[in-house]
Amino acid sequence: MKKHILFLFILLNSLLLIGQECYRTIPFSHTPLYSFQGGLQHMGKKDSVVLYCFDYENDALQSVTYQINGKIKPLYENYTCSDFIWAPINLFEHRDFKITIKHYNYLGLPPEPNPASSVYTKDAEGRIVGLKFFDHSGKPTEFRGIHAYKWSYLKNGIGEIRYSKDQKVVPMNNWFSYTWAILNFDSNNILKSILSTGPNWELQKDAVQIDLISDKKEIVHWFATNASSGDKINATGPKIAEACHDFNENGYLIRTRFYDVDGNRTKAAWGHKGFERTYNPQGNRLSYHFINEKDKIELSEDRGYSGQKFMWDKEGMFRLRTHYMNEKGEPIYRQSRGYASIQYLYDHKGKKIGEIYKDEKEQLLRTEKAQSFILLEDINGKVDRVNL
């Protein structure tokens, strides 16, 4: 018997891929073994917000689709679910020792440049022990520089290591740039600590431990310490000792703050002391901006802008425009990207057919970094790119 259940969040725990009902968002993800669990139940109308729709058959997950008002929605960036759900359509195939997930975009095509398939392997006890990514041709590919994960179930936790396509050991992510690490979970499968180690998960004197604090199944605080002395240290990707995350009543991440070893607000290596996000009632992100120690919007001198704004169509399906902004919320030219704003063009089927790049004065750009274009299809189906 097939049942159709709407969920607002997905949890990939250390044993099985299962759904968690009525949760919204995560701040970021450390590992596909654990995706941060959203916290509060969403009280709005389910047909008016972005949903993750889970299909089950005989208690086995068959698909995860990203929808709004019953329609498959483009997934531009994932800020309402796990980093490891990057496609609007995800189809599951279950075998005794393997779970294969086929990924597609909202038009049913491979979600390039992201992987087209994920293959999880299980041991004889049903535990997830590996993950590899492949492109639409079945060739090895990478997601954020990682092709393969390996997990070993140790006495003191779960050992994790990651590899690139050429079998080089690579760091966990930008937040925690450790290679070999041991993960520990509580009785509810909530990640509670990450410990850096040497090769083959050998303990080291200078090991870094990340302790994570949860509230209502959301990670609201984490801090880094020297595992031997217990002293706070800033040996993390953003060069901070701790971070705090705030969520709104619907479970959306709305604020992140950075702190040094003394518990004072500090600027991360990323050029700001934290950020805030806003959303519309449909669940689409409207903006983010960097904040100072008083939680006031500020211009990041390192990055040359203060945040970004996003505009959507009235149904909430398509992102129509983005622009970088100054501390007043006005468009600003971002030097490293070569533009201030992008306008997105779609055809009658919803396929993106063009991008219009502009400067802060709304002038069309035709540069190497920002070349405005439109895709034109002739009667034979041949598509040509026309630079504007």
| Nearest-angstrom CA–CA distance, 149 and 142 | 11
Confirm if 143 and 115 have CB atoms less than 8 A apart.
yes
Strand partners, 192: none
Hey, where are the domains in the chain? 2-332
Query: Which pTM was predicted?
Result: 0.85
HEC secondary structure over 47-59: HHCCEEEEEEECC
Confidence of residue 342 (pLDDT cuts 50, 70, 90): very high
CB within 8 Å of 145: residues ≥ 6 apart: 164, 170
- 242 forms beta bridges with 223, 259
The 10s digit of each residue's pLDDT in 100-127 is 999 999 999 999 899 999 999 999 998 8
pLDDT band at 7 (very low <50, low <70, confident <90, very high): very low
pLDDT at 67: 86
Segment 75-83 mean pLDDT: 71
| Main-chain phi, psi angles of 172, to 5 degrees | -60, -55
- Residue-level pLDDT at 76: 86
Mean pLDDT of 61-81: 82
Q: Is residue 46 classed as helix, strand or coil in its secondary structure?
A: helix
What integer pLDDT is reported at residue 282 of this predicted model? 83
pLDDT digits (tens, 9 = 90+) for 162-203: 999 999 999 998 899 999 999 998 887 778 899 999 999 999
Encode burial over 92-123: b for 16+ CB neighbours within 10 A, e otherwise: beeeeeebebbbbbbeeebbeebbbbbbbbbe
More confident site: 5 or 77: 77
**Cα–Cα nearest to 69, from 86, 53, 85, 90:** 53
pLDDT digits (tens, 9 = 90+) for 240-296: 999 999 987 766 789 999 999 999 999 999 999 999 999 888 888 999 999 999 999
Task: Find the radius of gyration of the CA atoms of the chain.
Answer: 22
pLDDT above 70 covers a percentage of the chain that reads: 86
Report the pLDDT value the prediction gives residue 159, as an integer from 0 to 100: 95
* Interval 18-61: pLDDT, tens: 333 334 455 455 577 764 233 233 334 455 677 777 788 887 88
- Averaged pLDDT score across all residues of the chain: 85
Identify the residue with better confidence: 313 or 27: 313
Average pLDDT over residues 222-250: 93
CA 345 to CA 342: how far, in whole Å?
10
pLDDT of res. 21: 37
**DSSP-assigned letter for residue 200:** G
- By mean pLDDT, which of 9-13, 45-49, 80-84, 362-366 is the weakest? 9-13
Nearest in space to 274 (alpha carbons), one of 249, 248, 300, 302? 300
Please report the sign of the dihedral spanned by the C-alpha atoms of residue 230, residue 235, residue 241, residue 245: negative
Confidence of residue 8 (pLDDT cuts 50, 70, 90): very low
pLDDT at residue 64, rounded to an integer = 83
Q: Return the higher-pLDDT residue of 320 and 43.
A: 320
Residue 285: φ, ψ to 5°? -70, 130
C-alpha 302, offset from chain centre:
23
